[in-house]
Structure 1
């Protein structure tokens, strides 16, 4: 059974996709044209080379006359075949044209060999070359089944029709048996050539597709690498700019708030030195120290609010918006929904707070809003926050090429597996949404209280 299965798969290999089979047919037609043109050119070249030598190689006048006729007739057939291939209608159907050329050449071959001698002479056995030559051309099994036998049959028919008396030769059985064997060998060689051609062609198609996929993937990968390189460059620039901005802000705060308080204390101390330790001067000194302490505490709160570490993310966001409302006079409201029993990792709480803070700062600085509202929801799915304003709005945002503030928010969220979305329309306000999943943190990690 295994041998029969192997023979069946050898005779009829599994079909490829329809488009691949159609491409293979076109490739086989190209091979037929190439093989047919090559055979016709080579055979005619051999005729031209050996034609002048026939008088020395074939001294028998009868044999020489037959060979001259054979060379002239087959040379003409091959030349007509080459010309016919140039016609568009025949060029598109090379196999029938090739088969017709083989049939005519085989008939002329059989007639010429019959004129040279009977089956007791070597001439008939030279005709075995024709099926073997046809066998080297790859063709599908269905075409091969009639191509090789047709070549042998035409030779035998033309041979015995030209000289019927040769059919009475005692060598008839051996001659026909050898011809049948030659046809079988021709079929086997041709089918093997077909299988090799088929495998090579289909493998080439698969390789071409793989190369196209790899090229497409390589281009996509190059785009991704370039995009990530841009992100890294922008992140480095953002961090440098953020550090520069923070230093500049601290310098302004120290100069405007703390510096002024220190200058006021100097004047108070100078007054004390001039006028003595009166109660009014001491009171002024106490007020100056109190104001200086408040300025320092405000500065420290901007750097890292204590409420975030002591009370958690929700109270810290509420403190942030209450502080903004007190500074600007705008309605800055917060809605907070918290699932009880959750512990928020410090990194997540800090990132969420800074993203909400940046969204609030952007709205106050750029949007010109009348109101700002924040929603904060903390549950098992993560941290969800949104900051909505009714300001001038914003158009579509490319987070990769956005400004430093928006890019920084996106990078903070992405570093913890989250993402930031910004939506808005000019004149209709803007909403910034944050989703930050809560991943399991090592037990040693610092956590922010959640109340």
Structure 2
């Protein structure tokens, strides 16, 4: 509340403060909602629209007249500005216009604050989604590789092959370290380490080779066309889509064969991923254990087309096609 030129706390004795719903029962404010225009009260003592409690409150504080100006946001009344005066006399048209201009500025400031808060929440939600997706793509997929390597080492020990078992344990330890590093980088929104050390094609090839090493899943990587420089976001998201497809083949599909083909066509880069696993009904998959939602979100981020084809007993094929984007030189 503003009194004179000073901001003061709301008066706890104000009828609308004591009962926040009271203004809805006031004839003046019902008129304001109906006409969507200002309510002018030139004489508080004589105006029949005033309720007894509100009239008494105003008169006890020496008020003689008041204005109520509605504030609209996107066509809805979101509140009003009440202006009270201790001077007698009717309001002049220019005073009413000035009050309406003030209400308009307050409305714009209020709407801007609401939009800023919505943007803040949207940014927070986007960051939470990114972190959840990245954690899934690093820790969850990394642990899949670790578990597979440890299971393979147990089988080697049963077959009395200690050297083979030790090799898989070392591989599991390395995968765990890499996953932890990637999780830390993800928290800081850093580029995947694999892409810092190698080209996109080599990074994808290495991840497939290292993850399937010593497992029953036989992998094949093919590179078609002349590799081109891609936007960092394109490389990162396609890499994660490839990781997710590989992880699904290992965890869920019971596949024995995984094929990855990276093609640099004339107008787009194409990533094709296939396995010969048990497949699933695409329309009934919710992505909870398959990661389809995450792959779809990553494709959307880079404007790529994502197609998932699968049938029970027929394996799964995933194709992501990302049109080339002009690199921004810094």
- Please report the TM-score for the alignment, with normalisation by the length of structure 2: 0.45
Q: Is the strand fraction higher in 1 or 2?
A: 2
The structure number with the bigger radius of gyration is 1
- Please report the TM-score for the alignment, with normalisation by the length of structure 1: 0.34
